Structures are given as C-alpha cells and as structure tokens.
Amino acid sequence: MRASSTVYQTPNKLTFRSTVLRQPCFTITRTRICFPRQHLFRAEYVEPGADGFNVRTVPANLLTAEKEEAKAVLNLFLRKQGLSNAVASRTINTSEHFIEHLILKLHAAHKTRYLVGRELSTLEIRDTLIPYLESLLEEHGEILIEMVENYPDPPGTEKPKVLPAPVSPSLNSKKLKAMARVSEIGADGQLPPQVLYLVDLGLELDQIKLMARKFPAFAYYSLEGKIKPVVEFLLDLGVKRTDIPTILNKRPQLCGISLSENLIPTMIFLENLGVDKKQWAKVIYRFPALLTYSRQKVKATVEFLYELGLTAENIGKILTRCPHIISYSVEDNLRPTAEYFRSMGVDVAVLVYRAPQTFGLSIEANLKPLTEFFLGKGYTMADVGTMASRYGALYTFSLEENIVPKWEYFLTMEYPKSELVKFPQFFGYSLEERIKPRYAQVKESGAKLLLNQILSVSEADFNKVLKKRVKKMLDDQEEASLSST
C-alpha cells in the first residue's frame, strides 16, 4: 500500500499532492458504501526554474479572460448533459474552485504557449477542456455536478441525499464484489497483482475502485492475460505512459477486448476507412471508446458521411480529428442535424468536415436558440447559413457566455452588420485579450481596417498592417491638403 500522502512529479511540472480526507459515502439504493479514504488532488505550481512555469507570470487580465472562457465551456458541456441554462449557470456560479482547477489544466497543457507570451484561442481552450470534462463525466457519472460544486473536497455528506431509483440487488452485489476484489489484501499483504500494476502506471486505488464500480468485469481481468498486453500494445502505438491512466479510466472495457480478434482488426478496418495510423496515440487518448464500438456501428456512421458527399480521405480526417462522431446516433443526431443545416442553405458536407463536433449538439437546446438570436438581430436565414458555412464552429459556442457579449461589443465597433456575415470567425476570438485591445488601437489611430485584418493575423503582422494603413492615411491627407492649396 502506498502512503496516504504522496507527492507526484508530472511531465508538465505540476505537483499533485494527494490528501486523505474523512470517510466519504456513496449511496446506492439501500446500501451505503463507505470508502476508507478518498484521494483528491490539489494542483500547486512549482517555483519557477529552468523548466518550471508559474501562474504569477500570466497577466491578471488574461487569467480573468480565461476564467470566462472556461465558464463558457463548462456551461456548454453541462447543457449538453441535459441541464437547463439556469441550473448550469447556478452550478458555475458556485464552483469557483473548480474553474480555477480548469485554468490549471489549461496552463499545464499549453505551458510553452504561455512562456512565449502567446494567448490561446477560444477553440484551443475548448479542445483542451472538453475531453477532460468528458473524462470526469465517465468517472463520476450522476454525481458530477455535486463533485464540481464541492471541488476539491468530496461531495458534502451533510447534505440530504436523494436516493436514486431502485436497481437490481444483483447489480449492487456485482459492483460491491468487484470493488472489494480490487482492494482485497492477499496472504502476502499485497493488493492483487493487476492492481499493483495499475498503481505503478499512475492510477490511484480509489480510481481503480470506481472503474470496477462502473464496469465490474474489469475487477476480474488478469494481469498477464488481459491488462498488461493491452497496456503494452498502447505504449507500442506511441501512447504516453502518463496517458494510460486517463485512457483506462475512460474505457476500462479496452482491457477485456482481444488484441488479435478485435482490437487490431478494428484498427485495420478504421485505417482502411482513412484513419491516419500515425495518429492512433492521439485518437485513442481523445476517445478510447472508438475501439470498443462494433464494426456495424462504425460502418453506419461512415456510410452516412459518404451519403453527405464526403470523400474517403475526408472521412478519414474526420475520424482522426473527432473520433467522438462515431458515438453520435445516425438517426437521432447526425441525420436530423444535417437536415436542419441543409434547410438553412449550408453545405453539410463542408460543415461536418470543418466542425464535426457540431453534430453532437441538441437542435432544440443549442442550434435553434443561436439561429433565432441572429434572426432576431435582423439577419436573414441565408445570412445565418452563410455564417455557419464560413465558420463551422460558430454553433459550438455558448450563446449567453460567448455570442451575446461579443455581439454587444460589436455594436460599438461602427461596422455594418454584414461584416459578421463576411467574417463570423469574430466570435472565435477572445473578447478581452484580442478583440477589445486591437480595436482600441485601430480606433485611436483613426485608420479603417476590416474585422479579419484586425483579428486573423499575428500581433506583429497586425502592427505592420496598422502602421502601413496609418501612413497611407496620412499621405492621402497630405496630398489632399496640397491639392486644395
């Protein structure tokens, strides 16, 4: 057994210190299960050094902007789980510590970007945080909201708990037996070999218990026959050792699948569909469940993409970049969403290629409210369709947290509304860190620049363009002055 308080050093130079807390209890119908201890991780930045990164080096205004972006991502994620906007907003407003935790995750993932002073785009923030939130959902399930609100402490045991609907006693029994099996101390005073192996990989005993609770069969997988071969196979594919715990947490079922009869043939099948074999490590880390779907399920999705007019090459790129699309139901998600956008005049094949994650959104909760927002501002359906075609990610942004604030600021920018139809990418840039400061410079200079000239270029190129435009403006004024005399 490991000591109750251990310091781990990770490659991103964050130090995680596990703290043993008083006994938390989880209620499953009529059975109360009390775990002897709960390891929760508090992230602390290392002191700056040759390779260290200190949060104090990040400007305060950037931290503020990032918090707002993180809140927007969390809001969108919670709403996708079926929460109303009011409940999602209330959860976020009471989860300041969890928001700070998301910022730490962001900084850890993009340390080098901060060291060179480059800010992250909204899309980069989203692409970093959403997979992490998805892993938390798989781990915590129905208590995710309570975990978010009480982070970093376990869900409060003082609060009255609402008992879930009764489930089969045999199901409870399976879960209890599985959890007991992975934590059982043998005659040699050690945990089972497969558990020690997983702990050595970086998993905590409590995580392994939760994996056994979610998927009881995992507790009965042998080390040499199932777990170790799959782990070594993943490492051979180029998966980082530090990523293995995340992958197994997300999909413990992977260890129960035969390499020769299922995993490898499935991968070959997907490669024949166009998945880049050089990208398997990234694909599996993003969505390990991909390898556990039946070929019929994968084939149904691929056939639908062909039906939309996508080429085999583009389908392969979609599966590589966004393997989650396989989890979307063709009849419940993909086809209705395609029909919705097609009715707006959007080239659906182009849209799904550029932003496949859009097809996992709810039409009623996510797509229609955004469309109606723009229609209410005087745009035509054709205008909105053009915006969606030009910027596929537009519909993935939170209406309240992202679109509305940027729209309100746009109204102060003295551009015609048609400018957003030409450049809807406006909504993908940080309001506080990119849009406001750059437009302030343009306004102060007196020059005239299009939105894409202001936002879509690097800081250095923006300064060059602005300087050149100011010079031309002054030259024109001087020439006009000379002509008038």
Token pair, residue 248, equals 């197994």
Residue with token string 């010079």: 471
The share of the chain scoring above pLDDT 70, in percent, equals 78
Cβ burial 12-34 (10 Å sphere, 16+ → b, else e): bbbeeebeeeeebebeeeeeebe
Specify the pLDDT at position 457.
92
d(CA 156, CA 247): 28
Q: Is the pLDDT of residue 172 over 90?
A: no
Q: Which of 43-57, 60-74, 328-342, 398-412 has the lowest mean pLDDT?
A: 43-57
* pLDDT band, very low/low/confident/very high, at 114 (cuts 50, 70, 90): low
Predicted confidence band of residue 394 (pLDDT cuts 50, 70, 90):
very high
62 band by pLDDT with thresholds 50, 70 and 90: low
Give the range among 17-31, 248-262, 274-288, 356-370 with minimum mean pLDDT. Answer: 17-31
pLDDT tens digits, one per residue of 200-239: 999 999 999 989 988 899 999 999 999 999 999 999 999 9
**Other CB atoms within 10 A of residue 58 CB:** 16
Task: Find, among 317, 238, 328, the residue nearest to 270 by Cα.
Answer: 317
Q: Does pLDDT of 365 surpass 60? A: yes
**Burial class of residue 400 in the structure, from the number of CB atoms within 10 Å of its CB (0-12 exposed, 13-18 middle, 19+ buried):** middle
Per-residue pLDDT at 322 exceeds 80: yes
Nearest to 256 by CA among 194, 329, 169: 194
Higher-confidence residue of 14 and 476: namely: 476
Model confidence band, residue 106 (pLDDT cutoffs 50, 70, 90): confident
Which residue's structure tokens are 């007196």? 446
- Inform me whether the pLDDT recorded for 284 exceeds 90: yes
